[in-house]
Amino acid sequence: MTLITTSLSAPPVEHQTLPSLWQYQAHADLKWILDSAPLFEGPDGLGELASIHGKVKSVPITSLTSHFKTPPSRRVGLYFESLLSPWLIQGLHLELEAHHLQVFENGRTVGEIDFSVRDPQGIRWRLESTIKFYLHYPNSNSADGSSFIGPDPRDSFERKYAHLTERQLRLRVPELGHPDHALPIARGILFYHLADLHNSQRPAKANPKHVRGLWMKASEWADFCGLSSGVERVINLPKPFWISGISNPGLTSRELTLTEATNALKAHFSCSRTALMLSLHHSTDKGYCEKWRCIIVADTWPNCDLQS
């Protein structure tokens, strides 16, 4: 008997349809960035700039994503930056002084400046961008004792926050002078386990209004499907499209029923240990909407070889 499995990837797309599809995806992802709560507590670069130079919803963003005509990098962080850049320059009318500028000390690279911009009043803003996804895992054996670790368990919320605030935002380049403001632009999601969805714990430096999601191990998917979850449709979000939860099915993913998703997950984790990001949808009066963002990890996570 031949077992028919469902692929998590979409069929090939005709080349001439790519520009509009990439723009559709980029538009959805930029809108999510602008509408979602910052990941870290305290001042946020986008929020501070918008309060001074105009509310985010007052600027049309459709035109800001018109340049997306080719597939972006698979790295979520680089894609995140590529969405921010037109918003900062065209949307908020900032002058770009430096982008991806490497910083050297004694002949060696010590870091990189994401954005150095000037606003119309001549105020210089130093902005460091990051988008991260962390799973609540109280039994973590991470070096810093964190209970919020990444799909790659070597990463943690506390480690990233310290690196960004204590190192990246303090980098200086004499040619750029001293910034008037040095702020993060941090977005992301904190995921809580299926059995502990209403847990209120968060990292000390996390925004109390952070975006929440759920996570589970691959073997727990079947139990989730058996619950009265209301989920009717599953969309796989391949990298770099982990941002909005909206992925054009004709381009990067395929809409699956729960049964199809079950078969696809079994096929994936039979030969891979890499985590998957899913958007779980339910039907409403306005059509399908995302109910949960979900990360599925291998049963051996966080003690697994992610290269397999």
Joined tokens for residue 303: 């003690």
Q: Has residue 98 got a pLDDT over 80?
A: yes
Closest CA to 52 of 117, 1, 6, 114: 117
> In the prediction, which pLDDT does 164 show?
95
What is the Cα–Cα distance from 296 to 275, expressed in whole angstroms? 6
Q: Has residue 15 got a pLDDT over 50?
A: no
Q: Has residue 5 got a pLDDT over 50?
A: no
pTM for this one? 0.88
Q: Has residue 202 got a pLDDT over 50?
A: yes
Q: Has residue 17 got a pLDDT over 70?
A: no
**Which one has a higher pLDDT value, 18 or 78?**
78
Q: Where are the domains of the chain?
A: 15-297
Q: Confidence class of residue 61 from pLDDT cuts 50, 70 and 90?
A: low
**Which one has a higher pLDDT value, 274 or 9?**
274
Q: Has residue 19 got a pLDDT over 80?
A: no
Mean pLDDT of 91-113: 87
Q: Which long-range contacts link 42-48 to residues 24+ away (Cβ below 8 Å)? A: 42/205, 43/183, 44/183, 44/184, 44/185, 44/186, 45/125, 45/127, 45/129, 45/181, 45/183, 45/184, 45/185, 46/185, 48/181, 48/183
Q: Give the percent of the chain with pLDDT over 90.
A: 51
Q: Has residue 71 got a pLDDT over 80?
A: no
- pLDDT digits over 144-185, tens only? 678 999 999 999 999 999 999 999 999 988 888 899 999 999
Mean pLDDT: which of 13-17, 33-37, 224-228, 255-259 is highest?
33-37
> In the prediction, which pLDDT does 166 show?
93
> In the prediction, which pLDDT does 230 show?
84
Q: Confidence class of residue 1 from pLDDT cuts 50, 70 and 90?
A: very low
Helices (H), the chain: 18-35, 45-53, 76-86, 157-166, 221-226, 258-269
Mean pLDDT of 16-25: 66
Cα diameter, the chain: 71
Closest CA to 172 of 108, 106, 104: 104
For the ranges 60-64, 191-195, 242-246, the lowest mean pLDDT is seen at 60-64
Q: Has residue 268 got a pLDDT over 60?
A: yes
Contact 184, 127 (CB under 8 A): yes
Instruction: State the Cα torsion 94-100-106-110 to the nearest 10°.
Output: 110
- pLDDT digits over 207-220, tens only? 999 999 999 999 99
- DSSP structure class, residue 229: -
Q: Has residue 75 got a pLDDT over 80?
A: yes
Joined tokens for residue 110: 């010590």
> In the prediction, which pLDDT does 137 show?
94
- The count of other CB atoms within 10 Å of the CB of residue 153 is 19
> In the prediction, which pLDDT does 175 show?
84
Contact 280, 219 (CB under 8 A): no
What is the Cα–Cα distance from 273 to 297, expressed in whole angstroms? 7
Token pair 């204590």: residue: 166
- The count of other CB atoms within 10 Å of the CB of residue 31 is 19
Q: Confidence class of residue 60 from pLDDT cuts 50, 70 and 90?
A: low
Q: Give the percent of the chain with pLDDT over 70.
A: 81
For the ranges 3-17, 103-117, 240-254, 272-286, the lowest mean pLDDT is seen at 3-17
Mean pLDDT of the chain: 84
